[in-house]
């Protein structure tokens, strides 16, 4: 409902040229229609007669608000130069603190270097530095910034290369990770073949194979939970340290996996030993594709050889399929779940978690051997997020 207000203004100094009496002041009347809510918002019922037309000027900012803004600006003046380690657990290095030692890779997606970091009051550290190429930076085909963010969010785990921090130089964002004294899993397997003439891969015990497999599966399960995948996963893409610990690296965002598959296929001739069938034929990549590839790696670890002929890609005909028999030496850790990882239909493959649990259950059963009846019941129970200490073990033994 609108209300009209009539107000007469006597323009004593304004003269109307069209008036018969040009020299006389002209009076005029106008009406203003406004909603009641805006018109009577600040006045009481007894003050309605004093209202005039609304003011069209913007309100002035209160002085107190300006003081708050000035105070906030003063407190955040040094944010761009602060050490992020103090606030978010991520360390920001100055580019001048990096000393590039040698180039490790110049590729279509990444450039990588070995470098050293010299920080005041800290020992010099050798690191692994990586960033995207200038072309990727321009085209944004790879979401590098989001990938770095996810990697920084990953918790520390033994089977993934640790991140030291980041470095920003102009438009370039560098990811800085630990440098390890290591070889690849592939080179370690090949060296075992040379040492063990006529007995391929037989130097690895079943206990070693189980431990390394579970560690790698834990790492893959973790990166999957953060929206990361590992196209091209193989024994070449797993590092093996002097302490005999496997380390994963060089994964990517799930959204960028298909693009990475395309680049892989341009660079090399791929077979089922490198990519799952859906990746070979349709450039599709998912967590199930990682399951396929990790099973290939497990088989290579068990036998020292790849499970599929290198000249076969895409869909296998029945005549081309061959039976893959579990190696006799490792029958004590036989796991049929590995065979399920090579299902043509990716929805029928086990998840990374299911595969890991199957190996962990296998580990528990092989530890008991034929004396399962002598096993202490407390040894089979591990509290959630708990840590078993030596004191806890002694208490359990004494209680029995």
Whether residue 189 is found in the same domain as residue 162: no
**Do 264 and 258 meet the contact criterion of CB atoms below 8 Å apart?**
no
Q: What's the pLDDT at 286?
A: 97
Domain end position, chosen among 178, 210, 237: 178
Q: What's the pLDDT at 94?
A: 87
Task: Report the chain's mean pLDDT, rounded to a whole number.
Answer: 74
Token pair listed for 275 = 């990519």
| Mean per-residue pLDDT, 196-221 | 80
25 DSSP β-pair partners:
15
What would you report as the CA-atom Rg of the chain, rounded to the nearest whole angstrom?
A: 35
The answer to whether residue 386 sits within a structural domain is: no
Whether residue 358 is found in the same domain as residue 219: yes
> Sorting pLDDT into bands at 50, 70 and 90, what band is 329?
confident
Whether residue 158 is found in the same domain as residue 229: no
| Mean per-residue pLDDT, 158-187 | 91
Q: What's the pLDDT at 312?
A: 53
**Do 274 and 260 meet the contact criterion of CB atoms below 8 Å apart?**
no
The answer to whether residue 164 sits within a structural domain is: yes
Whether residue 166 is found in the same domain as residue 208: no
Q: What's the pLDDT at 59?
A: 60
> Sorting pLDDT into bands at 50, 70 and 90, what band is 62?
low
What is the number of structural domains in the chain? 2
* pLDDT tens-digit series, residues 229-273: 999 999 999 999 999 999 999 999 999 999 999 999 998 889 999
Whether residue 139 is found in the same domain as residue 225: no
| Mean per-residue pLDDT, 131-145 | 91
Whether residue 240 is found in the same domain as residue 228: yes
The answer to whether residue 47 sits within a structural domain is: no
The answer to whether residue 392 sits within a structural domain is: no
| Mean per-residue pLDDT, 332-352 | 93
Whether residue 155 is found in the same domain as residue 226: no
- Report whether pLDDT(277) > 90: yes
Whether residue 209 is found in the same domain as residue 322: yes
> Sorting pLDDT into bands at 50, 70 and 90, what band is 366?
very low
Count of residues for the chain? 400
Q: By residue range, what is the domain housing residue 158?
A: 91-178
The answer to whether residue 16 sits within a structural domain is: no
- Report whether pLDDT(91) > 60: yes
- Could you give the 3-state DSSP secondary structure of residue 114? strand
CATH number at residue 298: 1.10.510.10
- Could you give the 3-state DSSP secondary structure of residue 273? coil
Give the residue from 291, 188, 163 showing the smallest Cα distance to 239. Answer: 188
> Sorting pLDDT into bands at 50, 70 and 90, what band is 320?
very low
In order of 137, 240, 245, 247, 380, the CA distances from 181 in angstroms are 31, 9, 11, 11, 36
Please report which helix (H) or strand (E) contains residue 38, including its range: helix 36-39
* pLDDT tens-digit series, residues 385-394: 333 344 444 4
**Do 246 and 238 meet the contact criterion of CB atoms below 8 Å apart?**
yes
Whether residue 295 is found in the same domain as residue 206: yes
CATH number at residue 109: 3.30.200.20
Whether residue 127 is found in the same domain as residue 263: no
Whether residue 248 is found in the same domain as residue 339: yes
Whether residue 152 is found in the same domain as residue 218: no
Residues 3-12: contacts with CB under 8 Å, at least 24 apart: 3/33, 3/34, 3/36, 3/39, 4/31, 4/32, 4/33, 5/31, 5/32, 5/51, 5/52, 5/53, 6/31, 7/32, 7/52, 7/53
> Do strands 163-169 and 92-93 pair parallel, antiparallel, or not at all (unpaired)?
parallel
Domain end position, chosen among 178, 210, 233: 178
Higher pLDDT, 379 or 58: 58
| Mean per-residue pLDDT, 328-350 | 92
In order of 37, 182, 249, 279, 352, the CA distances from 338 in angstroms are 73, 27, 23, 19, 11
The answer to whether residue 144 sits within a structural domain is: yes
- Of 130-134, 236-240, 379-383, where does mean pLDDT reach its minimum? 379-383
The answer to whether residue 31 sits within a structural domain is: no
């Amino acid at each position: 409902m609108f209300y009209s207000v009539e107000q007469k203004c006597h323009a004593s100094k304004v003269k109307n040229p069209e008036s018969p009496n040009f020299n006389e002041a002209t009076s005029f009347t106008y009406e203003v229609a406004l909603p009641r809510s805006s018109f009577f918002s600040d006045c009481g019922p007894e003050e309605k007669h004093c209202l005039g037309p609304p003011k069209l000027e913007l309100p002035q900012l209160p002085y107190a608000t300006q003081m708050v803004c000035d105070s906030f600006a003063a407190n955040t003046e040094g944010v761009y130069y602060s050490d992020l380690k103090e606030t978010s657990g991520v360390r920001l290095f100055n580019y001048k603190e990096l000393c590039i030692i040698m180039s490790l890779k110049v590729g279509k997606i990444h450039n990588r270097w070995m470098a050293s970091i010299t920080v005041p009051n800290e020992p010099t550290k050798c690191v692994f530095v990586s960033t995207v190429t200038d072309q990727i930076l321009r085209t944004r085909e790879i979401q590098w910034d989001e990938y770095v963010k996810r990697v920084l969010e990953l918790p520390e785990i033994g089977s993934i290369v640790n991140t030291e921090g980041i470095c920003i130089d102009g438009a370039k964002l560098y990811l800085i990770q630990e440098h390890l004294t290591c070889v690849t899993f592939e080179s370690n397997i090949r060296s075992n073949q040379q040492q063990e003439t006529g007995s391929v891969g037989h130097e690895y015990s079943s206990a070693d194979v189980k431990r390394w497999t579970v560690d790698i599966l834990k790492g893959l399960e973790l990166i999957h939970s953060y929206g990361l995948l590992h196209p091209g996963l193989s024994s070449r893409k797993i590092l093996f340290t002097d302490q005999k610990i496997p380390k994963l690296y060089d994964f990517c965002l799930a959204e960028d996996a298909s693009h990475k598959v395309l680049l892989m296929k341009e660079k090399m001739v791929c077979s089922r030993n490198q990519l799952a069938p859906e990746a070979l034929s349709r450039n599709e990549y998912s967590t199930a594709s990682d399951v396929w590839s990790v099973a290939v790696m497990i088989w290579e670890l068990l036998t020292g050889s790849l499970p599929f002929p290198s000249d076969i890609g895409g869909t296998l005909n029945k005549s081309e399929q061959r039976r893959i028999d579990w190696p006799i030496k490792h029958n004590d850790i036989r796991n049929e779940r590995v065979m399920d990882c090579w299902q043509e239909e990716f929805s029928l493959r086990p998840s990374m978690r299911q595969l890991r649990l199957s190996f962990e259950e296998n580990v528990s059963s092989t530890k008991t051997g034929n004396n399962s009846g002598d096993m202490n019941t407390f040894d089979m129970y591990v509290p959630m997020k708990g840590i078993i200490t030596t004191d806890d073990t002694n208490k359990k033994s004494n209680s029995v």
